[in-house]
Amino acid sequence: MEDLLTRNDLHQYQNYCIDFIESKATSAIFLNCGLGKTIISLTAIHNLMFDKFDISKVLVIAPLRVTTVWANEIKKWDHLKGLSYSVAVGTEKERKDALMKRATLYIINRENVDWLVNKSGVPFDFDMVVIDELSSFKSYSAKRFKSLLKVRPAVKRIVGLTGTPSSNGLMDLWAQFRVLDLGQRLGRYITHYRNTYFIPDKRNGQIVFSYKLLPGAEEKIYSQISDITISMKSIDYLKMPECVINTVPVYLNEKERAIYSGFRDDMVASLGAEEIDAVNAAVLSGKLLQMANGAVYDEKNKAHFIHDRKLDALEDLIEGANGKPVLIAYWFKHDLDRIQKRFPVRQLKSSKDIGEWNEGEIPVAVIHPASAGHGLNLQNGGSTLVWFGLTWSLELYQQTNARLYRQGQKDTVVIHHIITKDTIDEDVMTALTKKEKKQASLIEAVKAKLEVKR
């Protein structure tokens, strides 16, 4: 069993955000992806509930694939033991049953907000609401916005979390703050907000296609919301640059798990009484890493698809970056093939590619750790790295991280690791975390694990 994290493991900026949430009935926390929005919110909830007795029932609204992240985060931290939770996703019956369970925290996906408010028949008696990815409430014509606004006056405390709330411009802010503070700062009507801070830009007669900010309007908007808003892009709250390591777990379903476990057990069994030597251990670990990533090569080098769990998580991370450049480290060719089919990415291979990345012209790039050698400077093009597939090589791992986390980097570097739970991914991550220095010691770790499973 993993050791639980404690409050001492929280960063200084996270404690700052926790205090901020506790001190404000309404707060907007703009943190870049991977900086710990979930643990910040959960700690504040715990303190408000059990130390200050200010709240008793909390609703978390999150993207569907992120609902399990909240539940898993509670399990990871020692000081959150007192929080009970219920995840209200799935069929209507499953959602209703989850909402009727006795708990202190209820987690629902954002697509079901309208159902919860208008159709579920369950009383909306939450005294605190946390919106994970506040920017998904930027459309004032959406049902989720109108539904939440309807019950908002009954909510005592509300927190909005997001990375970049205005990826399409500051017009997006109005609906988000309307649902947070009921129009106190940016006005109760979009027309008033628009007329105060914007002028028509592209138009055809009376039809306006877009708006642009009036001179000085940006500063005025920020000033209006500053008392309830934290942005972690500011050096006031975070030592820059800092490197934040983040793990993004994904889970195989029963069928996928059976394929993975069957292959692992069959190959171990086929070795019979023979000792599992380094060659066999390396081959097996390579196959298992492929499967954890979503596909595996056969003896004819043909890739066989198993799952898309990591691609789904990668989609969430790219979306969560809200337009900030993302660099993806892949290991196997079939990883690259599947990433390229799913996303418009650019491989960083030539000096031209690297130059355009550093100029900020490539939103999503992919790189192989073996080509991310010493001296390759990528820090000017972005600060977010996603490990889609891991490597046993500590040297390649550290080299790749150092492409972004190096002198000259002006932003906080966030390194995400997409880890398939209960697979060899966890063994590799453990070995890298412990900073094992030799490839041989990593192979030994695999051998020991396999021999135990015989």
Q: What is the pLDDT of residues 204-215, one digit of tens each?
A: 778 887 888 899
Count of residues for the chain? 454
Q: Is the pLDDT score of 387 beyond 90?
A: yes
**pLDDT value of residue 439:** 30
pLDDT category at 191 given cuts 50, 70, 90 is: very high
- 227 falls within a domain: yes
Query: 409 vs 214, which has greater pLDDT?
Result: 214
pLDDT digits (tens, 9 = 90+) for 231-259: 764 334 445 578 888 999 999 999 999 88
- 181 falls within a domain: yes
Query: 267 vs 345, which has greater pLDDT?
Result: 345
DSSP 31: -
pLDDT category at 7 given cuts 50, 70, 90 is: confident
Do 227 and 337 belong together in one domain? no
**Domain limit, last residue, from 231, 260, 283:** 231
**Domain limit, last residue, from 169, 204, 231:** 231
- 257 falls within a domain: no
- 406 falls within a domain: yes
Provide the domain count of the chain: 2
- 289 falls within a domain: no
140-144, 293-297, 407-411, range with the lowest pLDDT: 407-411
Do 120 and 227 belong together in one domain? yes
**pLDDT value of residue 32:** 64
Average pLDDT over residues 131-157: 95
Query: 454 vs 157, which has greater pLDDT?
Result: 157
Do 310 and 227 belong together in one domain? no
The two tokens of residue 382 are 């972005």
**pLDDT value of residue 130:** 98
Do 188 and 55 belong together in one domain? yes
Average pLDDT over residues 322-334: 94
Do 110 and 212 belong together in one domain? yes
Sign of the Cα pseudo-torsion (299, 303, 307, 311, in order):
positive
Beta-strand relationship, 364-367 and 85-88? unpaired
Do 310 and 192 belong together in one domain? no
The two tokens of residue 383 are 């600060």
Range of the domain at 64: 7-231
Do 211 and 81 belong together in one domain? yes
**Which CATH number goes with the domain that contains 449?**
3.40.50.300
Among the listed residues 197, 163, 195, 165, the one whose alpha carbon sits nearest the alpha carbon of residue 180:
165
- 270 falls within a domain: no
**pLDDT value of residue 119:** 96
The two tokens of residue 7 are 């409050």
Give the other-Cβ count within 10 Å of 92's Cβ.
11
Do 24 and 162 belong together in one domain? yes
**Which CATH number goes with the domain that contains 101?**
3.40.50.10810
Residue 342: alpha-carbon gap to chain centroid: 18
Do 198 and 345 belong together in one domain? no
Q: Is the pLDDT score of 276 beyond 90?
A: no
Q: What percent of the chain has pLDDT over 70?
A: 87
pLDDT category at 262 given cuts 50, 70, 90 is: confident
Do 131 and 221 belong together in one domain? yes
165-169, 308-312, 441-445, range with the lowest pLDDT: 441-445
pLDDT digits (tens, 9 = 90+) for 45-72: 999 999 999 999 999 999 887 788 898 8
Q: What percent of the chain has pLDDT over 90?
A: 54
| Residue-wise DSSP of 154-190 | G-SEEEEEES-TTTT-GGGHHHHHHHHHTTTTT-S-H
- 238 falls within a domain: no
- 291 falls within a domain: no
**pLDDT value of residue 137:** 94
Q: Is the pLDDT score of 43 beyond 80?
A: yes
47-61, 110-124, 436-450, range with the lowest pLDDT: 436-450
User: Does residue 369 contact residue 332 with C-beta atoms inside 8 Å?
Assistant: no
pLDDT digits (tens, 9 = 90+) for 145-166: 999 999 999 999 999 998 767 6
**pLDDT value of residue 33:** 54
Q: Compute the mean pLDDT over every residue in the chain, rounded to the nearest whole number.
A: 85
Do 61 and 205 belong together in one domain? yes
CB neighbour list of residue 449: distance below 8 Å, 6 or more residues apart: 427
Do 225 and 335 belong together in one domain? no
Q: Is the pLDDT score of 320 beyond 50?
A: yes
pLDDT category at 106 given cuts 50, 70, 90 is: very high
**Domain limit, last residue, from 197, 231, 265:** 231
**pLDDT value of residue 278:** 43
**pLDDT value of residue 283:** 81
